Amino acid sequence: MTTTTLPEIQIKAVRIKAVLDPAALPRHLLIAEPAPQPDVTLTLRTTDGALLHAAIAGKKFRRCLKGLDAASDTIVLLEGRLGPDGTLVDAGLNPQAAPPKKDTAQVA
């Protein structure tokens, strides 16, 4: 088998979106208001073992957890730009309504 080497293609950035389990978020890091919320770094591991770190601004982290408290059936969407050393920069957490579950029951 022969391998063909292609020229490099320059890109600006790689954007990543991932769905997080709301129960997995470290709620113990939330600081009560009116104290300022420090930034939070989440450590993420993919199913194939890749390790990523997401730097979340304190205000975004607090806003996300408040959104989770207000809604019952939610997911958390993590979005960010892949930076050096597996770090997501400009990362944000967005609570969203969970998609409706498909009915697995067969209709006869």
- For the stretch 11-67, pLDDT in tens is 888 999 999 989 899 999 989 889 999 999 999 998 999 899 999 999 999 999 988
Residue 37 belongs to some domain of the structure: yes
Reported as a single tens digit per residue, the pLDDT across 56-106 is 999 999 999 988 876 678 889 999 999 988 899 989 999 988 887 776 665
Residue 12 belongs to some domain of the structure: no
Residue 107 belongs to some domain of the structure: no
* 61 class by beta-carbon count within 10 Å (0-12 exposed, 13-18 middle, 19+ buried): buried
Cα separation, 68 vs 94, whole angstroms: 9
Cα separation, 73 vs 96, whole angstroms: 9
Cα separation, 62 vs 25, whole angstroms: 11
Residue 49 belongs to some domain of the structure: yes
**Residue 6 confidence class, pLDDT cut points 50, 70, 90:** confident
Range of the domain at 56: 22-97
Question: In this predicted structure, what is the pLDDT of residue 11?
Answer: 87
Question: In this predicted structure, what is the pLDDT of residue 16?
Answer: 92
Strand partners, 82: 88
Residue 104 belongs to some domain of the structure: no
Domains identified in the chain, total number: 1
Residue 9 has pLDDT above 70, yes or no: yes
Residue 2 belongs to some domain of the structure: no
Question: In this predicted structure, what is the pLDDT of residue 12?
Answer: 87
